[in-house]
Structure 1
């Protein structure tokens, strides 16, 4: 398996759980988590906070003195870490301004304010996650690849990404992250922004103004809604009858999992290997309705990427996959996700990696 280590260390919502036998009580119930890292379990107050304590006896792996998210330096420089549950973005901002909070994820529209602050700092870090438009390839209208290609060619992707990301993102039409060793010249290819070519694709496909609905949510830390608004305006210029349906995130997830959608403006958490990213989108839709693309060749290439360990051979697999995706356009990939965090200027270190808090090698000065 070429992805075994990636599976064992995956940071996203499908991560692998490894549980110590000592975490389970004599009656079989779960007692508490026992990890292997620089912090250990302290206290959990449901709906309020989780407190971790410094593990004083922790020995960091041999390293060059820098954290790298894998096996770099992992010293616990703080006595403890308290994760607060704060659902309101304005309260988070006020907490950072007052110093009650040391660091937190913030809404991208606060970037100029944090850049200009004397007491706060801005932390922007790209990760392997994806912002994209899921397309239901079994929909009556969208089952035609020509319509899907027209949708992609109607987008001025650079302009859309700049606006939707508040200038933090860079357009990437590939499933492969820009920071991956597999992000080749082939992966940089994307369909051109060409309104007239999009109109021709629609005419050839027999499109006759049928409505196309984009589902979006208004969570502040993802570009779901602004990306949908920009796409709607751009696609309408090519003659696409695009509408937007705003749902709460939980309902949006249910719609994706059931396959009940035409287009979804979606953000997908980071995967550490392109094949793991593929598996979130590609496969038998009859067995798993949440999957986006069930092209037999795409499934064959994904399975090959799971098995093939040679980097040169894997590169050929990923490049062939990307060329096929540009032809079939089962979804429109916009840009790699960007973590936008704020912190007090007293905080030293990098508190986020691949959309997860990483609090080793992080400290707060007096």
Structure 2
């Protein structure tokens, strides 16, 4: 059933243990087997969990590799491969005890040495989502016990370990080279790779050694590349696919209005944003960025394009995350006269020509770009829309070959640091989400938030940080939408996690 509101559950430091009694979910009495075909806009290009970040890879990686802890659909941290964990009173020592009988998909046992190898390899590689904590040592105490010691307490560490990039892989890649291993990866997840075309589709088969007895219920999971919203809708309505990962919000009513299809929704850690390349001569000027922010009617844009599935975003933190200030931050509001006055203070008072980059095939992004184009025209900024095939779009923005772009930012784990470490740290891998934004005060606040215990002091740090970003607008938050997936009506057990991923081990077909 369609939901007309955002669920506002807030991630807290609550940790749950997943006991045997909670593993028997609905579906054991229902139809098992079959193939679930899931339409996605881009192919999976890599399974190297320590090097990847985009959802086309992340949501394939997390089907094969699993972490010690994870988070549920309410954003609570729960024990996963670890049956329990302990944190020392000083916050420096984390001790994890592995579940009994854990095996990799090749049938070999999972031990503490595999955990040690996985974390140390991540620390060595760094990669797109590095472990930011000051890890001094990782020790396999015995076959089932791992002890991680930090040099300095790091508040988001447990949440960070729940990220897909901290999945567990076999020690020494199971005797293979790195290249060989990641072409045919072996993990503890519910699925193993069967067929994989890095420029096309991906087929998983169920892991016969999966630790959750009886799961996954389906025999195969197929990621089918369908890079056009309308083609995906037509295939779903025709029964050629079982689900659409990123259902265009404009198509949601068509899915809900059909007797054989439905939508699944959840609150999300996703914020739609307009990003500025601050190395661009025009957008290095704060007055230009502020002027455009005041020229865009974000409330009307949200209402027109999200069909009740989103709320306006005033800050880069999604509403479902602790410490967001969406309703209290002093964000720049729609005011054309003020926008013109702001632009007059810039180095380009008479306006200029520029471009906005988007991924092609996405109807919503195209309409967003058109609205922003019209907003710019009102103050003399002439914007040409550059629609690119998605792999080219990603390659160009990573090479800083853009002026503006529309993209989304998603928290990979349920802590504010997941957003700030990626969008505020000038020394980070993404250079502030490829904006090259550099504000040392903001960066210092980000670092302070990492070591400040949860509570009022950490809230104050993030409140100040969010106000700086709202004032300087290296990116303009547009809206915080629900995760919306299109499904065939006979699909059950389907739950969308806040980051947009799905525990496909729980999915089954109704008879």
Under a length normalisation based on structure 2, what TM-score does the superposition of the two structures give? 0.61
**Counterpart in the other structure of 2:237:** 97
- Indicate which of 410, 417, 422 corresponds to 1:280: 422
Separation (CA, whole Å) in 1 of partners of 2:332 and 2:345? 17
Separation (CA, whole Å) in 2 of partners of 1:209 and 1:303? 37
Q: Calculate the aligned-residue CA RMSD, in Å.
A: 2.9
Contact 1:215–1:244 (Cα < 8 Å) also in 2: yes
Contact 1:213–1:242 (Cα < 8 Å) also in 2: yes
Task: Identify if the C-alpha distance between structure 1 residues 116 and 313 changes in structure 2 by more than 3 Å, giving closer, same or farther.
Answer: same
**Counterpart in the other structure of 2:122:** none
Please report how far the alpha carbon of residue 343 of structure 1 lies from its aligned counterpart in structure 2 after TM superposition.
Answer: 1.1
**Counterpart in the other structure of 1:202:** 343
Separation (CA, whole Å) in 1 of partners of 2:176 and 2:422? 37
Please report how far the alpha carbon of residue 107 of structure 1 lies from its aligned counterpart in structure 2 after TM superposition.
Answer: 3.0
**Counterpart in the other structure of 1:133:** 274
Residues 180-208 of structure 1, C-alpha deviation per residue, up to 9 Å, x if partnerless? Answer: 12223665542111111111111122422
Task: Identify if the C-alpha distance between structure 1 residues 360 and 237 changes in structure 2 by more than 3 Å, giving closer, same or farther.
Answer: same
**Counterpart in the other structure of 1:43:** 194
Task: Identify if the C-alpha distance between structure 1 residues 192 and 49 changes in structure 2 by more than 3 Å, giving closer, same or farther.
Answer: closer
Task: Identify if the C-alpha distance between structure 1 residues 45 and 196 changes in structure 2 by more than 3 Å, giving closer, same or farther.
Answer: closer
Task: Report whether the alignment pairs 1:365 with 2:506.
Answer: no
Separation (CA, whole Å) in 1 of partners of 2:388 and 2:238? 33
Task: Report whether the alignment pairs 1:76 with 2:209.
Answer: no
Please report how far the alpha carbon of residue 131 of structure 1 lies from its aligned counterpart in structure 2 after TM superposition.
Answer: 1.3
**Counterpart in the other structure of 1:245:** 386
Task: Identify if the C-alpha distance between structure 1 residues 57 and 133 changes in structure 2 by more than 3 Å, giving closer, same or farther.
Answer: closer
Task: Identify if the C-alpha distance between structure 1 residues 330 and 88 changes in structure 2 by more than 3 Å, giving closer, same or farther.
Answer: closer
Separation (CA, whole Å) in 2 of partners of 1:79 and 1:44? 16
Under a length normalisation based on structure 1, what TM-score does the superposition of the two structures give? 0.83
Q: Provide the secondary structure at the position in 2 that maps to 1:265.
A: strand
Equivalent positions of 1:182-197 (< 5 A) are: 182-184=323-325, 188-197=329-338
Contact 1:102–1:347 (Cα < 8 Å) also in 2: yes
Separation (CA, whole Å) in 2 of partners of 1:22 and 1:186? 49
Equivalent positions of 1:1-366 (< 5 A) are: 1-11=154-164, 15-21=165-171, 24-25=174-175, 29-30=180-181, 32-37=184-189, 39-41=190-192, 43-46=194-197, 47-53=200-206, 55=208, 58-59=211-212, 76=215, 78-87=217-226, 89=228, 92-105=232-245, 106-184=247-325, 188-206=329-347, 207-220=349-362, 223-272=364-413, 273-284=415-426, 290-353=434-497, 354-366=499-511
Separation (CA, whole Å) in 2 of partners of 1:343 and 1:287? 36
Contact 1:225–1:265 (Cα < 8 Å) also in 2: no
Q: Provide the secondary structure at the position in 1 that maps to 2:192.
A: strand
Separation (CA, whole Å) in 1 of partners of 2:237 and 2:365? 27
Residues 82-141 of structure 1, C-alpha deviation per residue, up to 9 Å, x if partnerless? Answer: 223232555644543344533232333321211211111122333112211111223322
Task: Identify if the C-alpha distance between structure 1 residues 249 and 59 changes in structure 2 by more than 3 Å, giving closer, same or farther.
Answer: closer
